[in-house]
Chain A
Amino acid sequence: MTTWQIVILASIVCLALKTVGYLVPPRAFEHPTVARTANLLTAALLAALIAVQTLGAGQSIQVDARLPAVAVAAVLYALRVPFVVVVIAAAAVAALIRAVT
């Protein structure tokens, strides 16, 4: 697939998902297990993406400047620092570590 095909396909799928509830009678989705699992799915994917972004290097695991940067981000989120500031701080921590090592 080309980048454009990936971008367009993914966009259409995501947009289609948003329209489902306006088209389909809701009964099929009312089961609590389905609703609960859908909620948890979001958390699972985000957590998996964090792990891969922090530790993955292609098809291997690599501990480097990203790990302390994400740890700093976690501390800042816990202190309720705004999103954009945390993202910039994480980038700065990683860049700083790379500059001095």
Chain B
Amino acid sequence: MAERSADEKKALRAALAVGLATAAYGISFGALATVSGLDIWQTCFLSLVMFTGGSQFALIGVLASGGLAAGGAAVTSAALLGTRNVFYSIRMAPIIGPGFFRRAAAAQLTIDESVAVASAQTSLPAQRYGFWVTGIVIYLGWNLTTLIGALIGDLLGDVSAYGLDAAAAAAFLGLLWPRLKERQTQAVAVGAAVVATLLTPWLMPGLPVIVAAVVAIVIGGFNLFARKGTTA
């Protein structure tokens, strides 16, 4: 193996730190998925194929509250949360370079964390290296811990007695928390939460979450609540 540059070593350290921290989320996901009504295979399928934490949590969250009747809303919520990966893949395409198989593998590993680690590096080799190492570490860790969590959730049985329904909300909050730095994002979060709550008695379970996405479109489209100089 060729000697790694200092840049690449830095990328490797970042990748391992982020990778290990994220892999631990998998336990929560696996446990919550099985108590939401998925079996162990379905839970593992999501981590293997969908492999994007926010969408996975969204899917099981909507299914937990609305059951199979909310299937359409569950798929839509997962898809809407997955749209940010479109922008990640655009950013990563020049870093990954050409080649069908390389790009296909990169697409599957294009998630918040791999893109964040790659973007934090300064040289192209380190960016490329950071992307792959982070993506692979998380892919392996996430799937392994999903399986462990699913086995635990399967053993637990009744959800509410253990407070796992509250754990689901706390898990979403953990995904949202790092995004709340900008005032505009805070406004969107508060607005969407209010809209979803107010609509809950009136719409089928799952739909209030999707309608609340309109808050992001309105505030983003008109660029409301933006601080001066941070319009993009």
Interface of A toward B, CB cutoff 8 Å: 1-15, 17-22, 24, 26, 29, 32-33, 35-56, 58-61, 65-66, 69-70, 73-74, 77, 82-84, 86-96, 98
Q: With contacts A18-B82, A40-B219 known, is A52 near B192, CB below 8 A? A: no
Which of the residues A14, A22, A83, A93 comes within 8 Å of B103, measured between beta carbons? A22
* A66 nearest CB across to chain B (Å): 4
Sample of 8 more A-B contacts, CB < 8 Å, known A9-B75, A29-B87, A48-B208: A12-B49, A15-B49, A20-B89, A35-B232, A40-B219, A45-B192, A50-B169, A92-B163
For the complex, would chain B's binding face be called helix, strand, loop or mixed by DSSP majority?
helix
**Residues in chain B near residue A89, CB distance under 8 A:** 170
| Given A56-B205, A58-B65, A86-B174, A91:B162 Cβ within 8 A | yes
Q: Mark B11-36, 1 if CB is under 8 A from A, else 0.
A: 00000000001001101100000000
Can you identify 21 A-B contacts, CB atoms within 8 angstroms? Answer: A8-B45, A13-B79, A21-B86, A21-B88, A22-B92, A22-B107, A38-B83, A43-B176, A43-B216, A45-B192, A45-B213, A51-B193, A51-B196, A52-B61, A55-B197, A74-B173, A84-B27, A90-B163, A91-B164, A94-B163, A96-B163
Knowing A49-B209, A60-B200, A61-B197, the reply to whether A98 touches B161 (Cβ < 8 A) is: yes
A91 touches B174 (CB 8 A): no
Chain B 184-218 residues near chain A, CB threshold 8 A: 184-185, 188-197, 200-201, 203-205, 208-209, 212-213, 215-217
Is chain A's interface secondary structure helix, strand, loop, or mixed overall?
Answer: helix
| A6 contact from B24, B71, B162, B213, Cβ within 8 A | B71
A-B contact count (CB 8 A): 318
How far is it, in angstroms, between the C-alpha of A6 and the C-alpha of B61 when the chains are bound?
A: 13
In the complex, what distance in Å separates the CA atom of A61 from the CA atom of B172?
19
**Chain A residues, CB < 8 A from B197:** 51-52, 55-56, 61
Partner of A45, one of B203, B205, B209, B219: B209
Nearest-CB residue, chain A, relative to B230 = A36
Cβ of B6 under 8 Å from chain A: no
* Distance between Cα atoms of A54 and B77 in the complex (Å): 17
Q: By the criterion CB–CB under 8 Å, are B212 and A7 in contact?
A: no
